[in-house]
């Protein structure tokens, strides 16, 4: 039975679909996908075009909006929206430390997870599209990794698309993981420098916390071991519009004194750090993160960790010894994460096998993209922490007819923080209204 219910200004419908685990074997094992349909209350019974939203990640479920939040305000004026929990995430058949052992050992788990990349997500969309639209093409809105999936969609099944809208998610068509992170670390340094310029008191606060973590063993409430390196990964906050401010407030009361043990990090600080750093709700983000860049016979081999060695300024111990500011990192996944985070520890060997894998298949078709006929528009955020601007613009030139909206008004989360404005601009671009 299809469940239909209401929130302020919208009608929601829960959908569950059965799709092949491996679309190359349509009669083989299946998994379940969950998606939430959202339509404006006053249009609930109208025949509207569909817009499917592909969340960032990898490994993130679709957002749980209340009413017409963020970009939904604009989308619901004319679309029936589908918020898809991509395979392995949210209310879809889960893939995590609790379920993956059912596949067997680490080798079997790694083989299983090769079916959770952008190509499988696109095939999922094509499997469910006819069930909802009657076969008509739909519009896709891809945020971040969802934008990567959208470029894969344009490569594999453009006939399913009426239009493609991308926000902060134009991937390089050719860069390997090493190239991605070699471009990323200088951006991280710029973002941290900008944060310290805004909040100069945080330079000493970060130094004190890093020094404490190099000296003491600190464990978060969920069992996550907080090392200096894992603390540095709080820099991921700097990729969002309000992230610098959130980071500042997080740092300002880190220590509690006096205590029976002397100087300690406060419970309140540790709880907030745990909420930011834990992968319990999205383990596939860590396990598959570098695999989203893999397209050839080269292993990713923990690219972010290897390339970090080329940027010694990110070494907290050396920065402290030299009297320098401690730099923070951004959207990077490292092998030590699988020792620190209890949600990832059981998946350590599986992640190692994926990092060593050499049989990755292509995710993009440059020739098909060069001949693209689908209206496409992409928001490219100037100096985006997570996705390299130069890579994005190079790809924009490689996709026939793609129009860009390049802006420094927003960070990576512009489609959320900007309310209806970013989506409104992209729709105008694909319709030649601007």
Q: What angle do CA 124, 128, 132 make, to 5 degrees?
A: 155
- Per DSSP, 293 falls in state G
* Active-site position among 85, 172, 412, 424: 412
- In sequence order, what are the beta bridge partners of 143? 167
Written as six digits, the tokens of 228 are 């200096």
Q: Quote the CA–CA distance of 176 and 233 in Å, as a whole number.
A: 22
* Active-site position among 45, 47, 217, 359: 359
Active site residue 359: yes
* Active-site position among 92, 112, 124, 144: 144
Answer for the pair 158, 177: CB distance below 8 angstroms, yes or no.
no
Q: Quote the CA–CA distance of 434 and 431 in Å, as a whole number.
A: 8
Query: What is the rounded radius of gyration, in angstroms, for the C-alpha atoms of the chain?
Result: 22
Active site residue 278: no
Written as six digits, the tokens of 16 are 């569950």
Q: Quote the CA–CA distance of 16 and 27 in Å, as a whole number.
A: 19
Active site residue 144: yes
Helix (H) / strand (E) element for 167: namely: strand 161-167
Residue 12, number of CB atoms within 10 A of its CB: 16
Q: Quote the CA–CA distance of 277 and 234 in Å, as a whole number.
A: 7
Long-range contacts for 363-366 (Cβ within 8 Å, ≥24 apart)? Answer: 363/117, 363/118, 363/119, 363/148, 363/151, 363/152, 363/155, 363/292, 363/295, 364/151, 364/152, 364/155, 364/171, 364/173, 364/295, 365/155, 365/156, 366/173, 366/398
Answer for the pair 121, 86: CB distance below 8 angstroms, yes or no.
yes
Q: Quote the CA–CA distance of 104 and 110 in Å, as a whole number.
A: 10
- Strands (DSSP E) along 252-310, which ranges? 255-256, 264-265
Written as six digits, the tokens of 3 are 């469940």
Q: Quote the CA–CA distance of 137 and 125 in Å, as a whole number.
A: 11
Buried b (16+ CB within 10 A) or exposed e, 202-233: bbebbbbbbebbeeeebebeeebbbbbbbbbb
**What is the three-class DSSP state of 265?**
strand
Q: Could you give the residue numbers annotated as active site? A: 144, 359, 412
């Amino acid at each position: 039975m299809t469940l239909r219910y209401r929130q302020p200004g919208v009608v929601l419908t829960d959908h569950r679909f059965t799709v092949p685990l491996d679309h190359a074997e349509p009669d083989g094992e299946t998994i379940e996908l969950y998606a939430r349909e959202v339509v404006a209350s006053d249009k609930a019974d109208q025949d509207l075009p569909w817009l499917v939203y592909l969340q960032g990640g990898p490994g993130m479920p679709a957002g749980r909006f209340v009413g017409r939040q963020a970009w939904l305000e604009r989308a619901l004026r004319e679309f029936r929206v589908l918020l898809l929990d991509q395979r392995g995430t949210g209310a879809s058949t889960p893939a995590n430390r609790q379920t993956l052992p059912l596949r067997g050992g680490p080798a079997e788990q790694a083989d299983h997870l090769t079916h959770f990349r952008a190509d499988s997500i696109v095939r999922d969309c094509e499997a469910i599209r006819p069930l909802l639209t009657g076969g008509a093409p739909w519009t896709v809105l891809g945020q971040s990794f969802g934008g990567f999936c959208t470029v894969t969609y344009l490569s594999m099944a453009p006939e399913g698309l009426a239009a493609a809208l991308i926000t902060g998610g134009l991937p390089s068509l050719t860069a390997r993981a090493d190239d991605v992170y070699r471009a990323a670390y200088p951006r991280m340094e710029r973002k941290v420098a900008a944060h310290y310029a805004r909040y100069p008191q945080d330079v000493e606060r970060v130094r004190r916390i890093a020094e404490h973590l190099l000296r003491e063993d600190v464990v978060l409430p969920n069992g996550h071991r907080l090392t200096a390196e894992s603390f540095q990964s709080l820099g991921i906050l700097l990729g969002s519009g309000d992230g610098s401010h959130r980071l500042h407030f997080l740092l300002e009361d880190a220590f509690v004194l006096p205590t029976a043990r002397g100087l300690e990090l406060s419970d309140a600080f540790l709880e907030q750090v745990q909420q930011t750093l834990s992968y319990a709700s999205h383990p596939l983000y860590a396990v598959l993160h570098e695999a989203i860049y893999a397209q050839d016979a080269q292993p990713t081999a923990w690219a972010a960790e290897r390339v970090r060695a080329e940027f010694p300024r990110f070494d907290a111990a050396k920065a402290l010894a030299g009297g320098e500011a401690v730099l923070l990192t951004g959207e990077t996944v490292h092998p030590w994460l699988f020792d620190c985070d209890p949600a990832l520890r059981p998946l350590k060997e599986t992640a190692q096998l994926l990092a060593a894998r050499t049989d990755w298949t292509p995710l993009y078709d440059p020739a098909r993209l060069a001949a693209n006929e689908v209206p496409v528009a992409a928001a490219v955020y100037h100096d985006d922490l997570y996705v390299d601007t130069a890579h994005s613009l190079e790809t924009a030139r490689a996709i026939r007819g793609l129009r860009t909206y390049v802006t420094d008004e927003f960070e990576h989360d512009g489609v959320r923080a900007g309310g209806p404005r970013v989506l409104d601009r992209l729709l105008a671009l694909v319709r030649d209204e601007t």
